């Protein structure tokens, strides 16, 4: 039944999710969990969950959709939104919005681009965003956690000390990025303070249901779950656009080609995606491809947009 053109009514989301899970069950080969953060390496790559949330907060799920996992770089969407809401366009003087074409933790572009990272989703750019949010709030990671709890309606979300400590113990490259950008004046807080915030940010554990709901403001063009406005319509468009072009490491072109939605992945195996005005998705499966994206996660989103006809294109 591939290739439908008209969007299906939302009551069909549950059968579509079940069909996707069933199809993936039969697919061999699911990649490998991230091993550069030891606390993530032990997770079974075959685990899978997926959730879809509608703008009114109705949520559908399949598999382990209520299982908390390590959100990692998925959080970069939310810190971007939270900072953009506070400082507006000035942020874009400190971080770009072009795909990098390099791995997420690369140092090479930073020198010839004078310490201004290509986009907010490579690690260098995410460090700049967290630094600026920390300057404005005094607690970037806490502000992020409060926001995720509020939007998901789940007050139980929390940091994982084990994962944050594990990252800190293996954080030389992120420390190098922070110090290097500080040398260009693009980091305002002491680098150790920033790294502590960033590692705690990445360590937040949440489920597919939590993240699909928390991403809802991007489907609602900037409106939070309680009806108040976080972003202008134009800023919500900006965040969705940077997700589409830069959200899946250096495979964003391939992701756009296959899935056709703004998306953001993390090395914990989670991916969030947005159908503006219609729904938000989160899929989790910890086996990653060589670019760092969840193998089953991308496949599931690919099937979702093919089966439902829901895409931005
Ligand atoms: N905490 C990870 C790091 O900075 C995030 C990586 C990711 O999910 O892309 O290396």
Both structure tokens of 71 = 């959100």
pLDDT on residue 10 = 52
Residue 5: the pLDDT is 47
pLDDT tens digits for range 104-138: 778 888 988 899 999 999 999 999 999 999 999 99
pLDDT confidence of residue 37 = 83
Residue positions in the annotated binding site for substrate?
Answer: 73, 123, 167, 174, 198, 249, 267
Q: How confident is residue 29, by pLDDT bands cut at 50, 70 and 90?
A: low
* In the chain, % of residues over pLDDT 70: 96
- Residue 42: its pLDDT value, please? 87
202 C-alpha to center of ligand 1: Å?
7
Is it the case that residue 62 has pLDDT exceeding 60? yes
Q: What is the pLDDT of residue 153?
A: 98
pLDDT at residue 53 tops 70? yes
Whose C-alpha lies nearest to ligand 1, atom 2? 72
Higher pLDDT, 39 or 61: 61
Query: Is 76 among the catalytic positions?
Result: yes
Segment 255-263 mean pLDDT: 98
**% of residues, the chain, pLDDT over 90:** 85
Three-class DSSP category at 62:
strand
Question: Which range has the worst mean pLDDT, 26-40, 53-67, 163-177?
Answer: 26-40
Query: Could you give the domains of the chain?
Result: 11-307 (3.40.710.10)
Q: SS3 of 63, please? A: strand
Q: Give the pLDDT of residue 1.
A: 39
pLDDT at res. 39: 82
Q: Choosing from 74, 267, 283, 295, which is the catalytic residue?
A: 267
Answer for the pair 13, 279: CB distance below 8 angstroms, yes or no.
yes
Q: What is the mean pLDDT of the chain?
A: 94
Question: Which range has the top average pLDDT, 31-35, 105-109, 217-221?
Answer: 217-221
CB neighbourhood size of 173 (10 A): 13
Model pLDDT, residue 264: 98
d(CA 269, CA 128): 23
pTM of this structure: 0.95
In this model, does residue 40 exceed pLDDT 90?
no
8 A C-beta contact, residue 195 and residue 227: no
Sole residue written with tokens 């084990």: 162
Q: Say whether 237 is catalytic.
A: no
Interatomic CA distance for residues 61 and 177, integer angstroms: 38
| Ligand 1, atom nearest to 167 Cα | 1
Burial class (CB in 10 A: 0-12, 13-18, 19+), 119: buried
Identify which has the larger pLDDT, 91 or 9.
91
192, β-bridge pairs: none
Residue 288 pLDDT exceeds 60: yes
Structural tokens at position 258: 């296959």
Lowest-confidence region among 43-57, 93-107, 123-137? 93-107
| Cα end-to-end span (Å), the chain | 19
């Amino acid at each position: 039944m591939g290739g439908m053109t008209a969007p299906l009514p939302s009551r069909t989301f549950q059968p579509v999710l079940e069909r996707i899970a069933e199809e993936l069950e039969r697919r061999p080969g699911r990649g490998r969990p991230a091993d550069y953060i030891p606390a993530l390496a032990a997770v079974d790559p075959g685990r899978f969950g997926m959730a879809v949330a509608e703008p009114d907060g109705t949520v559908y799920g399949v598999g382990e959709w209520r299982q908390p996992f390590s959100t990692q770089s998925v959080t970069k969407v939310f810190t971007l939104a939270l900072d953009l809401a506070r400082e507006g366009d000035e942020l874009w003087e400190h971080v770009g919005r072009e795909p990098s074409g390099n791995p997420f933790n690369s140092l090479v572009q930073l020198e010839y681009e004078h310490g201004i990272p290509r986009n907010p989703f490579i690690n260098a750019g995410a460090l700049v965003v967290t630094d600026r949010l920390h300057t404005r709030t005094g607690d970037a990671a806490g502000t992020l956690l409060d926001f995720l709890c509020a939007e998901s309606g789940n007050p139980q979300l929390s940091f994982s000390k084990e994962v944050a400590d594990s990252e800190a113990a293996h954080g030389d490259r992120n420390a190098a990025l922070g110090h290097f950008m500080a040398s260009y004046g693009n980091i305002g807080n002491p680098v150790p303070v920033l790294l502590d915030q960033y590692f705690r940010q990445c360590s937040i554990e949440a489920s597919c249901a939590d993240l699909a709901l928390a991403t809802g403001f991007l489907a609602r063009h900037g409106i939070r779950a309680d009806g108040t406005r976080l972003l202008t319509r134009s800023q919500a468009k900006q965040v969705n656009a940077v997700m589409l072009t830069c959200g899946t490491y250096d495979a964003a072109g391939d992701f756009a080609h296959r899935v056709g939605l703004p998306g953001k992945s993390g090395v914990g195996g989670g991916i969030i995606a947005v159908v503006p005005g219609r729904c938000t998705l989160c899929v989790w499966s910890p086996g990653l491809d060589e670019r760092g994206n969840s193998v089953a996660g991308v496949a599931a989103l690919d099937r979702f947009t093919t089966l439902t006809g829901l895409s931005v294109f």
